[in-house]
Amino acid sequence: MAKWRIRIHLSDDAHSRARLDEVLANQRVSAVRLTPRPGTNPGLSGDVVLELPQDDELGDMLAALHMISPQVFVSRASSDHGDELQSPVAALAPAD
């Protein structure tokens, strides 16, 4: 399976986080990290590493993520270092 690193910029609100949870719910996600975007208010950068059984599923994943945000960036994750985010799989916390 191919591993992909995806970065998405999204609003820092419960609705955006819930939609991201929905998109990722049925995927093999090995790491998720959400951090505040510097210089923006309010916004988050989300880094996700996931495995897709077939490369053609990447298009469907990106289409779903683009429904959440127009800013989605993707690259192939190294198979030797699939957990480059240095954090365990994390549930997305609700917005305050």
pLDDT given at position 82: 42
Assigned architecture for domain 2-76: 2-Layer Sandwich (3.30)
As given in the structure block, the two tokens for residue 39 are: 């210089």
What pLDDT shows up at residue 56? 75
- Main-chain dihedrals φ then ψ at residue 66, nearest 5 degrees: -70, -20
What letters, b where the CB count within 10 A reaches 16 and e where it falls short, cover 63-96?
ebbeebbeebeeeebeeeebeebeeeeeebeeee
> What are 16-38's pLDDT values in tens digits?
889 999 998 888 888 888 888 77
Q: What is the structure's pLDDT at 81? A: 47
Q: Is the pLDDT of residue 11 over 70?
A: yes
Domain residue ranges in the chain: 2-76
Query: Is pLDDT at 90 greater than 70 in this prediction?
Result: no
